[in-house]
Structure 1
Amino acid sequence: MKIIGIETSCDETGVAIYDDRLGILSNQLYSQVKLHSNYGGIVPELAAREHEKKVIPLIQAAMHEAGLKSKQINAVAFTAGPGLVGSLLVGATIGRALAFAWDVPAIPVHHMEGHLLSPMLEEKTIKFPFVGLLVSGAHTQLILVHGIGEYILLGESVDDAVGEAFDKTAKLLGLKYPGGPNLSKLAKKGEEGRFIFPRPMINHSNFNFSFAGLKTFVENFFEKNKNNDNEQMRADIARAFEDAVVDILVIKCKRALKYTNLKRLVLAGGVSANMSLRQNMTKMIKSCNGELFYTSPAFCTDNGAMIAYVGMIRFKRGEYSKLNIIVRPRWALSDIASIIN
């Protein structure tokens, strides 16, 4: 069976085709980074318009890459939320139209479930249950995963998501959008331990996160030391910030594994591509005699392959939806069944 997946939740247009026997047959992606870099961040209206321009050519390219005709597609999956409402509507409308025209089921997919299960695109041996750390531009969540659709929120950010904190701190340091990857690149030039920044909420007994205070601390620190501003100082600040964020995430994950008495941890979302995070999580999981799973960088950011994969799972479970177009800009994983069937 073959599923085409369409991802248009934010600023990347992704279309992919997944085969339940052969895996990924095609994976097309268009990034709007250059467009939004002119504004220092994502402009929702421009994002939606760009999806309108690119989604159909990408569908055609994905079909051509896979060497398939429409009659060979068994279902159409698309991101129904969470995300930017205008962008979501583009993918949902196209997805519904294709499903109707091809006379196949339409499957709305939760964007964060796509990220959460994305390591399974390449690694088939991840067993349930496990703890999942979702770290993206708009989400920082610790999830207890008992099975497909069985998700319990352990903790989340009470303010900025980790990706937002990276981007805002990068902007403070004069780095271009997208800030997160550029900050990490600068941090590699930084001196370890020159500056030590706080680790908010690491002593709290719960699994929640807070990054807004850390961002403000960096802002105040930078202001106090602006007379000494140079490239090395900015690199050292970037290193101290990244080290603090990684420590927070590692400490919380270790605590969640102990609380759940589990040994398996999944990292997912755009920030999971961060090499410092991967290296430190690897050290932590080895000390716990556990297993760590993450996907290749190409599948960490938004992509159609993860949507097609989840679509295949839902398709096999008979979880389709009606033809009415519904998107959820805000959609909790715990409420994942709300627009299925």
Structure 2
Amino acid sequence: MPETYCAVVLAAGEGKRMKSNQPKVLCEVLFKPMLRWVLDAVRASAAADICCVAGFRHEQVEAYLQQLNAGAFSGHPVSCVLQQERRGTGHAVMMARTFLEAHRGGHVLVLNGDAPFLSAETIDAALQQHRANVEAVTVISAEVENPFGYGRILRDEQTGLLQGIVEQKDADSSVQRIREINSGSYWFCVDSLLEILSEITSDNAQGEYYLTDAVKLLLAHGQRAGAYVSADADAVLGANDCVQLAELNTIARRKILQKHMEAGVSIPCTDGVIIGPDVTIGSYSCILPGSILQGTTSVGAACTVGPEVVLRNARIADGVSLCFVQVYNQKIANTDSVESYHIYQ
């Protein structure tokens, strides 16, 4: 039988420091929930089936997934299981045991639902190493300038193979100098993970089950472990409070503006220009200050958008000029200039 690839997305965290009325994974980066960033990356990768582990205010996560499953994900819906007691990442994966059992013989990606910058390219590149080296587990890592607070990757100096993951609180001075850190995302052989899942214990100060212990157990059982270094260090980033969430928005905004400018879109002044990750803009178009483009908006070629324009799920034909307007869920099909304070809904 051909190998299968699936994913378990950990989305049960409360995010107390976010002080939000919704689960942390539904907090937005550029108008898009962090969970959707993650799900879109996974769906664009080799992983076919996805199971989401919900916990804090799980009804909101479940409702969001139902909305996606009825729309964009209708062809291949995402399943959901509940982690009633939130007792760590290892415990969250235990809640998905039935899902894992259904994918025996394959490989599973386990990742956090609040890591919006982990790309499909990184996921697939890590899988390629995972399969080529016949590793029971492959940790996705990154090298960062300031590794403080992250688990450090320990490698064998001769083979480069993963020897373990040391958390910040357990790291001595030499380990603290290591700049390669654990992203919290892993490729596992499903059968290998299932064999040791019940061996993970909560014998620690927090009384929680840690997924990093699965790596330790697999190594203790003589299985091969590796770490794939992401080319993009931002792949490890998440947010625990609104300050960090703002930093993610700043990073995402800069990257998206750069992508469009490199593709030939003119943005002569970036002041107040915010473009969502799923927006498309045609060649030779110009985006002026104060323009906010959200959702699945598409702007044609040779358009001028701005100043002070808001587009949400809008369709703008080629050659249109927009100034001081708001367009929601509508198509502007003519080539005449639209210069007014009207709202098109």
> What is the TM-score when the length of structure 1 is the normalising length?
0.31
Larger strand fraction of residues: 2
Who wins on radius of gyration, i.e. which is larger? 2
Structure with the larger RCO, 1 or 2 (CA within 8 Å, 6+ apart):
1
User: Which of the pair is proportionally richer in helix?
Assistant: 1
